[in-house]
Amino acid sequence: MRRFPLVVVIVAVLAISILGGAGTFSVFSDTETSSGNVIAAGTLDLKVWNGTHWVDDPNVIHFEVSNMAPGDKVTWKFKLKNSGTLPGNLSFKFLNIVSHENGLLEPEIENGDVEGEQVTERYTHYKHSSDYGDGELWDQLSISVYVDENDDGEHQWYERTILSKQFTDYSSTYSIPNNTYIPTGIVLGPGENVTLLMEITFKGSGFILGWDENWTSYGININNVAMSDSVEFDLEFKLTQTD
């Protein structure tokens, strides 16, 4: 009798047994748990010093000036702080600008001022225009903004200048864009503060010499057309998250 087939069968059975037992092997393992995880948003919180403590709107600094004359200069001090947890870029803008004629005096009328209009200095005798203006007090002011690094309320020559004698005006001719944020280049980190000085000057020089259609010379004192005028405006500071 030949036994070869039997040997083949036994080998086959052993092979199946080994493969079948492969699924019963195990490995070592270990786990660790991180619990109580929290994600929180940071904050930007700009505050203004009112002389006694840091405040938010509407309890911010309010100022009024009266009886200004050409050549006068007034200075306001703004101390601002980032009370939040994130750094931010500081900027500001003028908005809600309203001029008041407060009636017309003889010097204003003589120099071409008209109720509700601006008078141009563009070499046209007593021409009124909304494109160029010098007929309201807002047109007669220049504004400078400085960083008061030593917080003494005065501008020192070495302290940083943000705006330097920029003229105000309703037209696009002048440098201060109304209702547009003006960057200061200042980044306030959490808990940091900065003091800004704003100087507003009533222009001291304002005589315009020209000629009419008959080539007769005339002069306009543009300061006179702002006599008795007043202006109201809001000043808005903004803190924007840095990149």
Average pLDDT per block of 10 residues along the chain, 243 residues long: 48 48 68 85 89 80 80 91 94 84 84 67 40 66 91 89 79 65 94 95 68 56 80 88 87
Residue 22 lies in a domain: no
Residue 82 lies in a domain: yes
162 CB-side CA count, 13 A: 23
Residue 111 lies in a domain: yes
Question: Dmax of the chain from CA atoms?
Answer: 146
CB 140 within 8 A of CB 226: yes
Q: Choose among 110, 124, 236, 242: nearest CA to 180.
A: 236
Strands 217-221, 230-241: parallel, antiparallel or unpaired by DSSP?
unpaired
The whole-angstrom separation of Cα 45 and Cα 43 is 6
Residue 207 lies in a domain: yes
CB 231 within 8 A of CB 138: yes
Residues with Cβ within 8 Å of residue 20, at least 6 apart in sequence:
none
What six digits make up the tokens of 29?
A: 């393992």
Q: Choose among 77, 95, 94: nearest CA to 196.
A: 77
Residues with Cβ within 8 Å of residue 45, at least 6 apart in sequence:
82, 83, 84
Residue 40 lies in a domain: no
Residue 42 lies in a domain: no
Residues with Cβ within 8 Å of residue 7, at least 6 apart in sequence:
none
For residue 220, the model assigns a pLDDT of 62
Q: Choose among 221, 219, 220, 223: nearest CA to 202.
A: 223
Q: Which domain holds residue 138?
A: 74-241
For residue 69, the model assigns a pLDDT of 87
Domain count, the chain: 1
| pTM: predicted TM-score of the whole model, two decimal places | 0.74
Residue 117 lies in a domain: yes
**Residue 141: exposure state from Cβ atoms within 10 A (0-12, 13-18, ≥19):** buried
- The enclosing domain of 91 has a CATH number of 2.60.120
Residue 199 lies in a domain: yes
Residues with Cβ within 8 Å of residue 78, at least 6 apart in sequence:
48, 61, 195, 196, 197, 198, 237
For residue 34, the model assigns a pLDDT of 84
For residue 127, the model assigns a pLDDT of 42
Residues with Cβ within 8 Å of residue 120, at least 6 apart in sequence:
127, 128, 129, 131, 132, 133, 134
